[in-house]
């Protein structure tokens, strides 16, 4: 009868190390894959209450995330506008510059008017607008 050789301590530690490395690799792969493969977008439809009118003072901007939509509300000259806050250049999130009264991209310094129009290079397209209304101290954006 043939005898199987007994596993050595070295063989056991090698197998245990390989199993641990696989476990660590799997734990690291899950967040990386969820970052690289985005979740399906939630399609927003119709009017959605996004803020209170009193939350946005004259000359101010308010950045919001509604579902999967990044939104920027700006009140300037008594007019309230709503635009998608993802820059049309490299998809950075734009910010409202209250001092200069313009929308700015922090990645490459593209600038837009308060309503998302008239982009400067490197952005070549305006920010997509959304219809916005105010009723009873509620800001309603239609997607």
30-85 tens-digit pLDDT: 776 666 665 565 677 889 999 999 999 999 999 999 988 999 999 999 999 999 99
- pTM for the model stands at 0.71
Determine the pLDDT at residue 40: 62
Q: Please give the Cα distance from 103 to 111 (Å, whole number).
A: 6
Q: Please give the Cα distance from 63 to 82 (Å, whole number).
A: 10
105-123 tens-digit pLDDT: 999 999 999 999 999 999 9
Cα–Cα distances in angstroms (integers) from residue 11 to residues 18, 22, 58, in the given order: 11, 17, 71
Q: Which CATH class is domain 47-142?
A: mainly beta
Determine the pLDDT at residue 17: 81
Q: The tokens of 14 are what?
A: 């090698």
Examine the pLDDT at 1 and tell me if it is beyond 70: no
């Amino acid at each position: 009868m043939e005898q199987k050789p007994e596993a050595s301590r070295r063989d056991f530690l090698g197998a245990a190390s390989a199993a641990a490395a696989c476990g660590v690799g799997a734990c690291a792969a899950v967040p990386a894959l969820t970052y690289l493969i985005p979740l399906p977008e939630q399609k927003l439809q119709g009017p959605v209450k996004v803020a209170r009118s009193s939350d946005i003072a004259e000359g101010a901007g308010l950045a919001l995330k509604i579902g999967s939509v990044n939104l920027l509300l700006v009140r300037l000259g008594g007019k309230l506008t709503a635009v998608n806050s993802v820059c049309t250049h490299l998809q950075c999130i734009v910010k409202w510059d209250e001092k200069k009264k313009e929308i700015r991209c922090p990645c490459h310094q593209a600038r837009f008017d308060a309503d998302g129009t008239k982009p400067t290079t490197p952005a070549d397209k305006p920010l997509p607008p959304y219809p916005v209304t105010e009723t009873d101290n509620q800001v309603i954006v239609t997607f």
